[in-house]
């Protein structure tokens, strides 16, 4: 089964060329954006006309604005306290971020939005669903909780957006999504956005979209543009020490580090804290308050490093991430593409470093095949790659001076790779032999 045929692209070189009301363009300009991304320029004109859409583009290409701007345009003159648009998204972070973007883009309109997600009380959400907001951004599970109480009314719904369709599939939400869709008005506009289009998502689109236009931005090209890829082979027990060595480079101002599991994320964060690196962590076992606090601290620069797992990181949309570090190599190439897309948002630049253990070489090779280009290998001059692992597993991150990373022989006191407690403190070490960073152009935000 395949998706509907893709129509030839119609592109716009500026937001002024898109069919948006001056009130909405004002919100766009105040955010500093002038040029739409390909997914935006190719979907917004049809979305504004009310046509069903399927948009496929990688993370970081501006899909959120591709559906929020048409929603604002279509509902501009109809704020009435009833739910007119519903955006379903798989994670709490994505729901919160979409709501924040909605508030900024629509700051000159009278439309109100609300985010509905789990992990917090239901009272404020209940009031919003009962009649306080026209645009609802919700996670499927929490929305079903509200719907089961019988007070949520979708009689006036005009627009439905399914955001990150493939991630909803990965997280097991498609049955919940179908339950919600079956209770919505049949006459509506439906838009589906996804980084990939697996068969289950295609079937969902076929069942609930009417003659949709399909726009596909080439995923390989989108993933590669603006990202400098570098693989750093290293024994697995020395990964933490090598990461500390990299962090001594002060051009690594905002670093997103990916681990495979929640346990490894927590352990790595403790190791970094012992080395006096300003780090925080986000994963599925953290409470909503902890996740919001961690993201806020990372966005504002209070934390230089954010350690994350893949599911939690799907909701991370932070301007100016300078580096993505794959502490663990993902087994699926698409996961790698999602990860590195967190730094080169839209047409900006970013660096992706991958710490590759010997057992991960096959995974890296599959990633290279997916990208269509080899990833350059490098070693850090002066780093001791021959240090043996500890005699026995560390029970705690601080049991060995190497912080659980096999770092025997490290002197006590401040680590050589300490960050100094934040960005820009103290002069950078000279002659460290780290990968040379090319001069950066201005990084542009995306949404």
pLDDT at 22 over 50: yes
Q: Which residues are CB-neighbours of 241 under 8 A, at least 6 positions away?
A: 383, 387, 402, 403, 405, 406, 407, 410, 417
More confident residue, 406 or 164: 164
Say if residues 82 and 134 touch (Cβ distance below 8 Å).
yes
Reduced to 3 states (helix: H, G, I; strand: E, B; else coil), residue 86 is strand
DSSP track, 4-21? PPBPPP---SSGGGSS--
pLDDT tens, residue by residue, 389-398: 877 655 544 4
CATH number given to 15-217: 3.40.50.300
pLDDT for the residue numbered 423: 40
Burial class (CB in 10 A: 0-12, 13-18, 19+), 310: buried
How far is Cα 269 from Cα 287, in angstroms, rounded to an integer?
A: 17
Question: Quick one: tokens of 297?
Answer: 């601290």
Stretch among 67-76, 144-153, 305-314, 392-401 having the lowest mean pLDDT: 392-401
For position 256, what pLDDT does the model report?
92
Comparison of pLDDT for 391 and 400, the residue scoring more: 391
Instruction: Look at residue 420 and tell me whether its pLDDT is greater than 80.
Output: no
At 304 the pLDDT is 93
The domain ranges of the chain are 15-217, 220-447
What tokens does 419 get?
């960050």
Strand segments (E) across 385-429: none
Q: Measure the CA–CA gap between 318 and 345, rounded to whole angstroms.
A: 9
pLDDT of the residue at 8: 43
* More confident of the two residues 335 and 20: 20
Q: What are phi and psi of 212, to 5 degrees?
A: -75, 150
Identical fold, 15-217 and 220-447: yes
How do residues 24-82 score in pLDDT, each as one tens digit?
Answer: 999 999 988 888 989 999 999 999 999 999 999 876 678 999 999 999 999 998 878 89
Choose the CATH number for 220-447 among 3.40.50.1580, 3.90.110.10, 3.30.428.10, 3.40.50.300: 3.40.50.300
């Amino acid at each position: 089964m395949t998706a509907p045929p893709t129509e030839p692209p119609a592109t716009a070189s500026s937001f002024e060329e898109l069919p948006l009301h001056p009130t909405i363009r004002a919100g766009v300009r105040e955010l500093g954006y002038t040029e739409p991304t390909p997914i935006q320029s190719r979907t917004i004109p049809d979305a504004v006309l009310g046509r069903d859409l399927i948009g496929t583009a990688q993370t970081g290409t501006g899909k959120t604005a591709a559906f929020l701007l048409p929603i604002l345009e279509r509902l501009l003159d109809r704020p009435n306290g009833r739910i007119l648009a519903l955006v379903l998204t798989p994670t709490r972070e994505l729901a919160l971020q979409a709501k924040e973007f909605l508030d900024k883009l629509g700051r000159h309109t009278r439309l109100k939005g609300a985010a509905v997600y789990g992990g917090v009380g239901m009272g404020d959400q209940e009031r919003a669903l009962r009649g306080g907001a026209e645009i609802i951004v919700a996670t499927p599970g929490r929305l079903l909780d509200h719907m089961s109480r019988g007070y949520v009314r979708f009689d006036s719904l005009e627009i439905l957006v399914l955001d990150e369709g493939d991630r909803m599939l990965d997280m097991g939400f498609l049955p919940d999504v179908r339950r919600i869709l079956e209770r919505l008005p049949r006459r509506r506009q439906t838009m589906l956005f996804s980084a990939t289009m697996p068969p289950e998502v295609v079937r969902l689109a076929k069942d609930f979209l009417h003659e949709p236009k399909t726009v596909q931005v080439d995923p390989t090209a989108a993933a590669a543009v603006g990202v400098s890829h570098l693989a750093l082979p290293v024994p697995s027990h020395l990964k933490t020490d090598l990461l500390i060595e990299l962090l001594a480079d002060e051009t690594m101002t905002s670093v997103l580090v990916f681990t495979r599991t929640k346990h490894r994320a927590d352990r790595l964060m403790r190791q970094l804290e012992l080395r006096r690196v300003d780090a925080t962590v986000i994963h599925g076992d953290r409470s909503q308050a902890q996740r919001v606090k961690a993201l806020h601290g990372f966005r504002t620069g209070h934390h230089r490093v954010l350690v994350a797992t893949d599911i939690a990181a799907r909701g991370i949309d932070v301007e100016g991430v300078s580096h993505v570090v794959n502490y663990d190599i993902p087994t699926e190439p698409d996961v790698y593409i999602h990860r590195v897309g967190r730094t080169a948002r839209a047409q900006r630049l970013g660096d992706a470093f991958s710490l590759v253990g010997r057992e991960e070489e096959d995974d890296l090779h599959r990633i290279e095949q997916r990208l269509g280009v080899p990833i350059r290998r490098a070693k850090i001059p002066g780093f001791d790659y021959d240090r043996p692992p500890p005699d026995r597993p560390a029970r705690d991150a601080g049991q060995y001076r190497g912080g659980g990373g096999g770092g025997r022989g490290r002197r006590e006191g401040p680590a050589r790779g300490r960050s100094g407690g934040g960005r820009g403190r103290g002069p950078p070490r000279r002659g460290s032999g780290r990968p040379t960073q090319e001069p950066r152009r201005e990084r542009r935000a995306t949404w």
